[in-house]
Structure 1
């Protein structure tokens, strides 16, 4: 009659150099490494019997424990989205089932919370960046945050705050384009605010509250300078067509029709 196979017993547990890690020996042979929290969870002690099924369960739990430790290191000092944590664990070639179990544990302990992340991210961006809600929303999507959490998070950036920030950003843009005609300056400020992620309604409120100071002498100087260049460029055309083309070009650049006509009349008198 065949002798019944005995279940291996824990004969020795030794500490590793790494803090919180241990080596487990079964029947005086090294069997597997283990973390302190898994050892406590399974109450592993000298003399305990561990069959193959229990050993596989312990090893799976230890894989989660190691992945969890890596996730905690990654989360240390920073909020992260689930997608970011998942990508980090995948970079460490951690198996998918272990990643899923690790994320579940992180969720249960409120260590990853995309809704909380979205709200915090929106507050930070509103306070420290020149980005509007459209760009913020796009960034959160890239980070894997779901639409409902994004929309809830964006409530942290009120329309009033958007206008207040937008005015400050708009003033900087207007200074950059100060040598443009006022109408062109407004157009470029609008385009700049749109690129930064502000919506049309908010931009309109921003422009209404901005002060675009017009310096008549500077406006006149800019028009004369542009007029000379455009008039010279159109020199190959007959006079009437030259006038029409010059006016169309200058009007497209944002100069006032009356001021353009005045220069054209002067040019006609000269010629």
Structure 2
């Protein structure tokens, strides 16, 4: 039976070289050294050496995972992806994750709750976008549902209303119908629900400035009227009306402006 004749510390902290029968045999981490109670004079067979090698692989993967986790909270999927990228064997990754989860160093429910709190404080995103991001990070639906309970209706209203106000300012010089449409679309893109968006829009008390809207219609209408100048009269009128309607102007306002344009051109 082979016998350990020396255990020598490496220059790298926490790593040791094991010599068997006077010859270098294999390296181990400090945790493996302690767990297996290795000592000089201990007998080692091939089966034990294989177990030591497997345990050392897990120890190295565990330390790699700890380095990755030291930067910020991570989900189980993120840790798996990181370790797989280091070409660590799947079975070693599984055992490493079991240890990390058992020690609460990887906890998707805790991660989801922390993520929701951070997004509430620092972003303009609603629940749907937050859910999508957590899904992409591998968090299951139940932990996501539990975490999103932290995002109260009052908090969502506050965040969404602030977004709506910014969007209203951004689109204030567009056709009134387009203003409302783009604000609604912006809130939907950020992950707020339809009924919440309606309530947020109601707080804005949007009302069109008649003079500003008339001036805006005239400005855009004149550009379009010039653009279609080579068309026949009826076709020119139809194309201009269609384009202005797509830009969010009302049909009655467009017709009124077109009557004025026809009068000017007749003169």
- Listed one character per residue, the Cα deviations across residues 76-135 of structure 1 (whole Å, up to 9, x for unaligned) are 031101111111111111111111110000010000011111111122122212222222
Report the counterpart of residue 66 of structure 1 in structure 2: 60
In 2, distance between residues paired with 1:9 and 1:238? 103
Matched, 1:237 2:232: yes
In 1, distance between residues paired with 2:36 and 2:239? 86
Structure 1 stretch displaced more, 164-173 or 210-219: 210-219
Aligned 1:178-193 pairs, distance under 5 A: 178-193=172-187
In 2, distance between residues paired with 1:266 and 1:52? 98
Structure 1 stretch displaced more, 107-116 or 132-141: 132-141
Q: Report the count of equivalent residues.
A: 264
In 2, distance between residues paired with 1:47 and 1:269? 110
Report the counterpart of residue 74 of structure 2 in structure 1: 80
Matched, 1:10 2:4: yes
Report the counterpart of residue 130 of structure 2 in structure 1: 136
Q: Secondary structure at the match of 1:156?
A: coil
In 2, distance between residues paired with 1:247 and 1:114? 55
In 2, distance between residues paired with 1:144 and 1:67? 20
Report the counterpart of residue 45 of structure 1 in structure 2: 39
Report the counterpart of residue 143 of structure 2 in structure 1: 149
Report the counterpart of residue 121 of structure 1 in structure 2: 115
In 1, distance between residues paired with 2:41 and 2:84? 37
In 1, distance between residues paired with 2:213 and 2:143? 48
Q: Secondary structure at the match of 1:12?
A: strand
Aligned 1:230-269 pairs, distance under 5 A: 230-235=224-229, 236-238=231-233, 243=237, 245-269=239-263
- Structure 1 stretches of 5 or more lacking a match? 1-6
State the 1:33 CA deviation: 0.9
Report the counterpart of residue 4 of structure 1 in structure 2: none
Q: Return the TM-score normalized by structure 2.
A: 0.90
In 1, distance between residues paired with 2:142 and 2:177? 39
Q: Return the TM-score normalized by structure 1.
A: 0.89
Matched, 1:176 2:158: no
